[in-house]
Amino acid sequence: MNIVPNRIKPPKPTQDLEKAKRDLDEFGICLIDRALGTEQLTRLRNRLYAAADDDVRLKRPSSSSGGDHDSNNQRIWGLLNRGQEFVDLVEDPRSIELLKYLLEWPFLLSSISANIAGPGHDGMVIHADQLFVPEPWPARPQGANCFWLVDDFTADNGATHVAVGSHRLNRMPKDDAEAESYFVPLEASAGTMCVMEGRIWHRTGCNVTANERRAGIFAWNVRKIYRTQENWFLSLNPLVRQGASEDLLWMLGYRLDTFFGHVNGYDPI
Ligand SMILES: O=C(O)CCC(=O)C(=O)O
């Protein structure tokens, strides 16, 4: 039986974290209004587009393991090493509070990457971020994406297509057609922060504009029992670790959690 109506609209952006938690329960997604101030957003945007240009020049990997469908989408990996602006996002106390609510503490930062959908982009493959969890899925989400809108997201420029409420079905879609019958574009202003739990079906939308790029930064987080997408112990610049907050060190797996994270039996501190 279909217990979730099709095409539910996303909740309205709010600055009230308790309301945001209720939105996560009901819709599987919440939006934090004007999470980034004008100056922070400008610095972040400049830094991101500069990193994107560097990746093109240096021919670095620019897709997500074949999931991006076409070359009009650019993925920028390893953002923690690309500027303090990105570290500030994952250390944001609002993000940490909402992720703790969904995933319990300590959770792990699995990866942080940007997705820039360019004109002509034809949409990402349809998925739920916790697609690697065997079904039947546990009753609570196993991961959650905290993402930041660097540009306005519009239906035309590739706003994420989201099956709002699909967390209540607690499974992968049967096929693309089922997911598409639920999709609505997540339209919101640059500077909005969204948290979307790992069971929500979604994909990057199609960019049908002539010349607009749509950038979002996606910090994917998992419960502590899962392997992270990024191998932080090999990839993280030591300068970032040395400057990291205590919370971020936990989120990267550098702290001893009962019996996870020993170094030869010792606490690494
Ligand atoms: O670019 C988007 O809007 C969605 C990205 C996404 O689905 C992902 O990174 O898993």
Ligand 1 atom index nearest CA of 129: 10
- Expressed as residue numbers, the domain containing 128 is 17-251
Ligand 1 centroid–CA 147 distance in Å is 9
218 Cβ closer than 6 Å to some ligand 1 atom: yes
Ligand 1 atom index nearest CA of 153: 3
State pLDDT tens for residues 161-209.
999 999 999 999 999 999 999 999 999 999 999 999 999 999 999 999 9
Q: What mean pLDDT, rounded, does the chain reach?
A: 96
Residue nearest to atom 5 of ligand 1 (CA): 204
Helical segments of 135-186, H only: 176-180
Mean per-residue pLDDT, 33-54: 98
Q: What is the CATH number of the domain that holds 106?
A: 2.60.120.620
Does the residue 259 lie in any domain?
no
CA dist 265 → 167, 225, 233, 261 (Å)? 39, 19, 18, 9
Does the residue 173 lie in any domain?
yes
125 token code pair = 């493959």
Does the residue 258 lie in any domain?
no
Q: Return the pLDDT at 259.
A: 85
Tell me the pLDDT band of 238, cut-offs 50, 70 and 90.
Answer: very high
Using an 8 Å Cβ cutoff, are 262 and 256 in contact?
yes
Tell me the pLDDT band of 62, cut-offs 50, 70 and 90.
Answer: confident
202 Cβ closer than 6 Å to some ligand 1 atom: yes
How many domains does the chain divide into? 1
73 Cβ closer than 6 Å to some ligand 1 atom: no
Q: What is residue 203's three-state secondary structure?
A: strand
Greatest Cα pair distance in the chain: 58
Q: Which residue matches tokens 């339209």? A: 187
Indicate the DSSP class of residue 79: G
Using an 8 Å Cβ cutoff, are 32 and 191 in contact?
no
Does the residue 247 lie in any domain?
yes
Look at residue 89 and tell me whether its pLDDT is greater than 70: yes
Q: Return the pLDDT at 1.
A: 54
Q: Which residue matches tokens 């240009």? A: 53
Ligand 1 centroid–CA 104 distance in Å is 23
Q: Return the pLDDT at 3.
A: 85
Residues of the chain above pLDDT 90, percent? 93
Q: Return the pLDDT at 68.
A: 73
Which distant-in-sequence residues (6+ apart) come within 8 Å of 194 by Cβ? 29, 30, 31, 32, 145, 146, 147, 148, 149, 186, 188
Ligand 1 centroid–CA 17 distance in Å is 23
Q: Return the pLDDT at 2.
A: 57
Does the residue 160 lie in any domain?
yes
Residue nearest to atom 2 of ligand 1 (CA): 204
Element (H, E) at 216: strand 214-223
Does the residue 135 lie in any domain?
yes
204 Cβ closer than 6 Å to some ligand 1 atom: yes
Measure the CA–CA gap between 37 and 236, rounded to whole angstroms.
27
Mean per-residue pLDDT, 213-224: 98
Residue nearest to atom 4 of ligand 1 (CA): 204
Ligand 1 atom index nearest CA of 218: 9
- CA dihedral for 10, 132, 69, 230, sign (positive or negative): positive
Look at residue 64 and tell me whether its pLDDT is greater than 80: no
Look at residue 250 and tell me whether its pLDDT is greater than 90: yes
Residues of the chain above pLDDT 70, percent? 98
Helical segments of the chain, H only: 17-27, 38-57, 84-90, 93-103, 176-180, 232-235, 238-243, 246-251
181 token code pair = 């019958």
Q: Return the pLDDT at 114.
A: 97
Which distant-in-sequence residues (6+ apart) come within 8 Å of 114 by Cβ? 48, 51, 52, 75, 76, 79, 150, 215, 216, 217, 218
Using an 8 Å Cβ cutoff, are 81 and 235 in contact?
yes
Residue 222 burial class via C-beta count within 10 angstroms: exposed 0-12, middle 13-18, buried 19 and up: buried
Q: Return the pLDDT at 56.
A: 95
Residue nearest to atom 1 of ligand 1 (CA): 204
Q: Considering the entire predicted model, what is its pTM?
A: 0.97
Does the residue 11 lie in any domain?
no
Does the residue 257 lie in any domain?
no
216 Cβ closer than 6 Å to some ligand 1 atom: yes
Best mutation site among 48, 73, 147, 221 for ligand 1 pocket (most ligand atoms within 8 Å of CB): 147
State pLDDT tens for residues 107-136.
999 999 999 999 999 999 999 999 999 999
